[in-house]
Amino acid sequence: DAGVIQSPRHEVTEMGQEVTLRCKPISGHDYLFWYRQTMMRGLELLIYFNNNVPIDDSGMPEDRFSAKMPNASFSTLKIQPSEPRDSAVYFCASSAQGNSPLHFGNGTRLTVT
């Protein structure tokens, strides 16, 4: 089991550019979560999917953020246009069922200059 795989590990981009973060969940897991971690705000839940369907995106900060899950093995989080305040570590996590332990990827560290 390779675990949750995120790419890229690091992303540095200029303000105004589009950023796409990628996630491959653990095979067979029905739930996928996107979190953002900053020193100021800690870990924030952005959005989660169940069986590829977005269930709750109330944590998505602005319309500049969008997430998709076209199939059970792939999800993207897109920021367009990016801003310096989007700088953070973005984590993807998956779980087998609702209410079961989360398995996290190692995150994508995003820096927007």
Partner 1 sequence: SQQGEEDPQALSIQEGENATMNCSYKTSINNLQWYRQNSGRGLVHLILIRSNEREKHSGRLRVTLDTSKKSSSLLITASRAADTASYFCATDVNTGNQFYFGTGTSLTVIP
- DSSP-assigned beta bridge partners for residue 67: 77
CB 41, min distance to partner 1, A: 8
β-pair partners for 45: 35
Q: Would you give the binding string for partner 1 spanning residues 23-42, x where CB under 8 A is met?
A: --------x-x-x------x
Closer CB to partner 1, 4 or 21, in the complex: 4
The single residue among 64, 68, 78, 103 that binds partner 1, judged by CB under 8 A, is 103
50 makes contact with partner 1 (CB under 8 A): yes
Q: What is the 3-state secondary structure (H, E, C) of the chain?
A: CCCCEEECCEEEECCCCCEEEEEECCCCCCEEEEEEEECCCEEEEEEEEECCEEEECCCCCCCCEEEEEEECCEEEEEECCCCHHHCEEEEEEEECCCCCCCEECCCEEEEEC
> What binding mask, one character per residue, do residues 3-22 give for partner 1 by CB under 8 A, x or -?
-x------------------
- Of 12-20, 21-29, 70-78, 97-105, the window that binds partner 1 (rule: CB under 8 A) is 97-105
Rounded to the nearest angstrom, the gap between the alpha carbon of residue 49 and the centroid of all alpha carbons in its chain is: 11
Site residues, partner 1 (CB under 8 A): 4, 31, 33, 35, 42-45, 48, 50, 55-56, 91, 93, 98-107
